[in-house]
Structure 1
């Protein structure tokens, strides 16, 4: 896939992608052509736009054999963090938008998510199981500070004693320690914090609008102090760029209060691969070929291997060496604790005014 040239009229500040490649479902491609008039155009800073969606349903189901949950909630589409390797970028193509700059600048919020969540878990015949948050885009990305949709969803789940899991790299999670800590005390919640690197300069390149590494460690500390079981997600591991930091990341997370760890090699599905290659050439031109050769060594000679069973692990000596290093570090640092089994037995509708109180 050849990426189009970037729009010279847009000024980019702290963005991961540099261009707007068309999504794979689009029948036409946009091409910039010079009109041969040497007239300077007015440049403007590309800002984040947020549209509000009146969603009709909120719980998504999946039957993927290599994912440990069967249902999830995503309060937002797109993610302003702008992580260049984000596997969720291709989902923007379903909206007729680009997985490149559109994914991180043209966002959709679902303000009625808490209302829908209460209605869906309250339906007759609903079978309770933990709901996963942060499985596609981050529920604690910057716009959550304004919309507070995630806090509304947490309030609903807490009231219903419904278990949930969370993966994030957004510092706004610390705002909700009151609810998360209370739910964790009832064995209704655990959290994972993604830490990709301890190098602030590299983090600014890879995850341009996500919190800095030191802030993510403070997030782990805050969650742990609130009583929330917290795991460090050492992901993605990218050969040459951050894989050498894996043990140091795990050590720092353990010292901050993490009780477990997980690791995933970088995945480059669909439109992510050419975006990532473009990013490499712009930010690490001397390492680009080496990085891609090492990634392909874990993915059967391709940029990405989408097969169930291998997409989260990789294959071959390169991937196996990474897994061995991870297992040894996890054991040495005492990060082998399994994720807490959450309590589904408490689930039920919250009491309403006038209800007869239970004697037991």
Structure 2
């Protein structure tokens, strides 16, 4: 693989971890560097350095640990009618995501929990511990209409805490029992653990997996998405799924101009070689508090490119950091967005990706789960 010129090869080399760009400093293993209040909070906190302890920049300060709180969900299936989203039903086993991707559009959703979209989003998680029970109830409702359920539309269903909580696996077990179709979006190779469920579902045309890969630069990925699987490991996951007979696609998402867009073609090439059958992409989205968090990340990790990156982001969003228009929010607008679109189309044709990003999964096999009965399974 050809390497870019030396000055572009390592975007992070000019800013070592021990040189803070501001009062905020990078936290090893985390994407966000601060914990700003969410937009619904009524109390504001501000740290001040009195010159004595230097606590704001103290390298010995303890790193924030991941805390998981049980949540008893009342319902599980969320629905949307957004014209730019390919599914109408979704399940998210967790609130917050330990992967810590700084660009995650779901960060502002933590504000509804009176938590910060910053470090709180990746350290203070909620696990829907009664997921299987509530999912069975939702699927058994008399008026339920079958359509593929997406697992991981908001937060990653295979984030590291899934190893212990196994809620995504529980959801798959229920869906498999009911022959209900689903799609999965993840950037974690942990999805391989559930091949024993995914392979039989694939034989019945009930599942499709999408692996998200937006760069093959390990150093950049370690800063952008610190606790997700390394890019080469995700390529390997594509190969394992494809070899096992599970239909798999790749999502080059999000594309960040002047940061990871140069990797689009090589991601598509290596994913196709590994067995990906379809592909899609999105551009960076910065809703609500995410604007400030991403600007802070740029200042810390790639200060020499921060202004250029945001200039291109604004060009793709009508002069703003973010444009929520359904017709443009996923792909952007303007000259740079058009260039990305052409590059993606050319590379997709070259590597034989299917025109449609998603398979037509079988909804005819669905059998509603039986409602709990005091007589058990006698009748």
Deviating above 6 A after TM superposition, structure 1's stretches of 4 or more consecutive aligned residues are 39-42
- Does the Cα contact within 8 Å between 1:259 and 1:337 map onto a contact in 2? no
Unaligned runs of at least 5 residues, structure 2 = 1-21, 371-375
Q: Does 1:345 align with 2:360?
A: no
Q: Deviations over 1:221-279 (max 9, x none)?
A: 11111211111001111111110110000000001110010011111111111111110
Q: Does 1:307 align with 2:333?
A: no
Shift of 1:37: 5.0
Shift of 1:115: 1.0
Q: Which residue of 1 aligns with 2:27?
A: 12
Q: Which residue of 1 aligns with 2:41?
A: 26
Q: Which residue of 2 aligns with 1:129?
A: 147
Q: Which residue of 2 aligns with 1:186?
A: 204
Shift of 1:353: 4.9
Q: Does 1:104 align with 2:122?
A: yes
Q: Which residue of 2 aligns with 1:226?
A: 244
Aligned-residue RMSD, C-alpha = 1.8
Equivalent position SS for 1:252: helix
Q: Deviations over 1:271-329 (max 9, x none)?
A: 11111111011110111111111111111111111111110111111101100110011
Shift of 1:349: 3.4
- Does the Cα contact within 8 Å between 1:166 and 1:192 map onto a contact in 2? yes
Q: State how far apart, in whole Å, the 1-side matches of 2:42 and 2:265 are.
A: 46
- Does the Cα contact within 8 Å between 1:5 and 1:32 map onto a contact in 2? no
Q: Are residues 309 and 39 of structure 1, via their aligned partners in 2, closer, same or farther at CA, if it must alter by over 3 Å?
A: closer
- Does the Cα contact within 8 Å between 1:196 and 1:236 map onto a contact in 2? yes
Q: Are residues 34 and 244 of structure 1, via their aligned partners in 2, closer, same or farther at CA, if it must alter by over 3 Å?
A: closer
Q: Does 1:168 align with 2:186?
A: yes
Unaligned runs of at least 5 residues, structure 1 = 356-360
Q: State how far apart, in whole Å, the 1-side matches of 2:54 and 2:42 are.
A: 31
Equivalent position SS for 2:157: coil
Q: State how far apart, in whole Å, the 1-side matches of 2:31 and 2:349 are.
A: 34
Shift of 1:350: 5.6
Shift of 1:38: 4.8
Q: State how far apart, in whole Å, the 2-side matches of 1:52 and 1:266 are.
A: 31
Q: Does 1:63 align with 2:63?
A: no
- Give the alignment of 1:120-269 within 5 angstroms: 120-269=138-287
Shift of 1:354: 5.2
Q: Taking structure 1 as the reference length, what is the TM-score of the superposition?
A: 0.93
- Does the Cα contact within 8 Å between 2:136 and 2:369 map onto a contact in 1? no
Q: State how far apart, in whole Å, the 1-side matches of 2:331 and 2:314 are.
A: 13
Shift of 1:45: 2.4
Shift of 1:34: 3.9
Q: State how far apart, in whole Å, the 2-side matches of 1:109 and 1:44 are.
A: 24
Q: State how far apart, in whole Å, the 2-side matches of 1:104 and 1:234 are.
A: 22
Q: Which residue of 2 aligns with 1:321?
A: 339
Q: State how far apart, in whole Å, the 1-side matches of 2:49 and 2:278 are.
A: 54
Q: Deviations over 1:107-136 (max 9, x none)?
A: 111111111101110111211111111100
Q: Which residue of 1 aligns with 2:132?
A: 114
Equivalent position SS for 1:45: coil
Q: State how far apart, in whole Å, the 2-side matches of 1:296 and 1:306 are.
A: 13
Shift of 1:171: 1.5
